[in-house]
Amino acid sequence: MPTQFDMFSDDLPIGEVSPRPRGERPAGRQMTEAEMVAHLSASGRYRVLRKIEPLEVVAFPRPEFSLKGVILDTETTGLNHRNEDIIEIGLIAFTFDERGGIGDVTGVYGGLQQPGKTIPPEITKLTGITDEMVSGQLIDMQAVRAMVAPADLIIAHNAGFDRPFCEAFSSAFSDKAWACSNSEIDWSARGFEGTKLGYLIGQAGYFHDGHRAVDDCFALLEVLDRKTGPAASTPFAELYLNSQKSRVRIFAENSPFDLKDHLKARGYRWSDGSEGRPKSWWIEVDEHDLADELHYLRTDIYRYPEADPPTKFLTAFDRFRA
């Protein structure tokens, strides 16, 4: 009866040894994990995703990375910061340099907090956080302040969502520079077809335990520090550069009602007049695009060359506020 070895033999005559191709592993030795990944990837038929492992916190960060950043993520009971609560916050403090090179992780904090209402079922389904998990829990604000206070930049993947919640939660987040890794990086130029964090992670070759705050922070840090596509710099270097640029919010106040679809198609959004903003359509553009946008409004919308719609200049200290 043939053995398993016989069934995989090359029917060589007894006494002859088949030469082993160069680079092939010796018989009887199991492939290492790295060899298995390389073998599957080289076949062109498989794509191997690697689990993101949290980086270690260092006690003595390298001095050449003199700037301090914080990656932040929140989980909440809903979408409106005015009447919903934070139920989890995750923070990773790290160092970086003036070119946007990421240095060392210097701190990690994750905490749950019991909200003033029952967690809706759809939020539990999305986050995995239940009322039982947050019962009696309180976020350690002393730990949060210790990480946020020295930060030169706070990064969130949807800063327009996270910043209003954080500022309503604690003054520690006010008067800080914020950056949005979703909207302030040209992911499409880097070969990505979407901007959701889970998609970015998967296309970069990773997977992680998503929708828990600290896990999402580590995942974002990994993606930000990985060069992708034809770009010569990392996504974080691009993000840091863009965060330093001034932008302008233009309010198309008193624009003709019948041209609202034109404004909407161009990217304008509607402001209901809350939070001290004019009740009008508005858009945010880079400062160097201001003249072109005003020309569009004066020519195509107002049809009046002296029209002077309200504008507001924004830096990273102003952007993404409520």
pLDDT in tens, 198-250: 899 998 888 887 668 999 999 999 999 998 777 789 999 999 999 999 999 99
- pLDDT at residue number 6: 41
Give the tokens for residue 67: 């700037």
Q: Which amino acid is at 214?
A: V
Lowest-pLDDT choice from 1-10, 54-63, 213-222? 1-10
Q: Which of 298, 300, 299, 303 is nearest to 311 (CA)?
A: 298
Q: Which of 100, 111, 108 is nearest to 152 (CA)?
A: 100
Confidence of residue 8 (pLDDT cuts 50, 70, 90): very low
Q: Which amino acid is at 118?
A: T
**Would you say the C-alpha torsion 251, 252, 257, 262 has a positive or negative sign?**
negative
Given a contact cutoff of 8 angstroms between Cβ atoms, the answer to whether 232 and 279 are in contact is: no
- pLDDT at residue number 231: 74
Scored b (16 or more CB within 10 A) or e, 249-264 reads bbbbbebeeeeeeebe
Given a contact cutoff of 8 angstroms between Cβ atoms, the answer to whether 105 and 58 are in contact is: yes
Q: Which phi and psi (to 5°) does residue 284 adopt?
A: -120, 125
Cα separation, 322 vs 320, in Å, equals: 6
Q: Which of 316, 311, 256 is nearest to 285 (CA)?
A: 311
Run of H or E including 43: helix 33-43
- pLDDT at residue number 229: 72
Give the chain's mean pLDDT: 90
Beta bridge partners of 237: none
- pLDDT at residue number 25: 58
- pLDDT at residue number 69: 98
- pLDDT at residue number 21: 53
Q: Which of 158, 156, 176 is nearest to 167 (CA)?
A: 176
What are the pLDDT digits (tens) for 256-314? 999 999 999 999 999 998 877 899 999 999 999 999 999 999 999 999 999 999 999 99
Q: Report DSSP letters for 148-180, one per residue.
A: HTT-SEEEETTHHHHHHHHHHH-GGGTT--EEE
SS3 224: helix
Q: Which of 125, 113, 122, 71 is nearest to 88 (CA)?
A: 113
Q: What is the reported pTM?
A: 0.82
- pLDDT at residue number 24: 58
What are the pLDDT digits (tens) for 168-179? 999 999 999 999
What are the pLDDT digits (tens) for 97-113? 999 999 999 999 999 99
Q: Does the structure show a pLDDT above 60 at 10?
A: no
